[in-house]
Amino acid sequence: MIPFDLASRYDAAASNWHRNARWLDYPQAYAQFFARLHAAAWLGPLGPGARVLECGIGTGVLSLALARVVPFREVVGVDIAPAMLREARRNLAAAGIAADLHRGDAHRLAQPDASFDAVITAHMLEHLARPQEAIGEMARVLRPGAPLIIVATRGNLADQLVRLKWRHVPIGREQLIAWMRRAGVENIGVYGIGNVFSSLRVLSRAFVGRRSL
């Protein structure tokens, strides 16, 4: 079960979340990361008719960055925090991105099998009681050959300070890769995000793979 106070904590942070992300240069770092993936042909399934699912959409920072690199028809967003969803709806509408946003739990996605051309998530799995189950759900809703992109927290000294507030549990690199493979995700690569001195690079890394055909 998701910790009782997690939604409230994120609701309390929602009004400043987008501004803080910009101050930390997350939108630009994410866009540069997606541009690297696009150049490496990871984002081939995306295009004007594509549908993207973002789990733990927050205020929409990750989806907005993806839209700067490749077009897609719609983002479906899931989050546990109503205030985050309100901010995401406003931010995505301002960017002209069609969005279908829901309060929900990534352990049990309501979307049907093989219904998305990409699934993305950032800093969500670490909060879940059963992250392996959520990875299975994200893989389930992917079309064969479509990418699963997970930005995950690095467990290090810097992260320990962040953990004091958010109480997340970092997932080891090999464990996360193993769970993705068990869910039917193949050709997994691991990427850094942001420049070498950025907080995003210190605190995060990305795991990218494709749903098996």
Query: Within a domain: residue 1?
Result: no
Distance (Å, rounded) from C-alpha 38 to C-alpha 35?
5
Q: How far is CA 101 from the centre of its chain?
A: 14
What does the DSSP 8-state code read for residue 1?
-
* Number of domains the chain is built from: 1
Beta bridge partners of 54: 77, 120
**If the chain, 213 residues long, is cut into consecutive pieces of 10 residues, what is the mean pLDDT of each piece?**
68 89 91 97 94 97 97 96 96 97 95 98 92 98 98 67 58 96 98 84 91 94
Q: What is the pLDDT of residue 31?
A: 96
Q: Is residue 131 part of a domain?
A: yes
Beta bridge partners of 118: 52
Structure tokens at 88: 């995401």
Q: For the domain that residue 134 is a member of, what is the CATH number?
A: 3.40.50.150
Please report whether residue 36 resides in a domain. Answer: yes
The dihedral sign for the CA sequence 111, 112, 117, 121: positive
DSSP string, 61-97: HHHHHHHHHS--SEEEEEES-HHHHHHHHHHHHHTT-
What is the Cα–Cα distance from 79 to 58, expressed in whole angstroms?
Answer: 7
Report the relative pairing of strands 204-211 and 147-153 from DSSP bridges.
Answer: antiparallel
Distance CA 185, CA 145 (A): 9
Q: Which domain holds residue 96?
A: 6-211
Predicted pLDDT of residue 196? 79
* Pair 149, 45: CB distance under 8 Å: no
Measured distance CA(166)–CA(208) in Å, rounded: 25
pLDDT (0 to 100) of residue 3: 46
pTM of this prediction exceeds 0.85: yes
pLDDT for 80: 94
Q: Whole-angstrom Cα distance, residue 135 to residue 17?
A: 25
Q: What is the pLDDT of residue 162?
A: 53
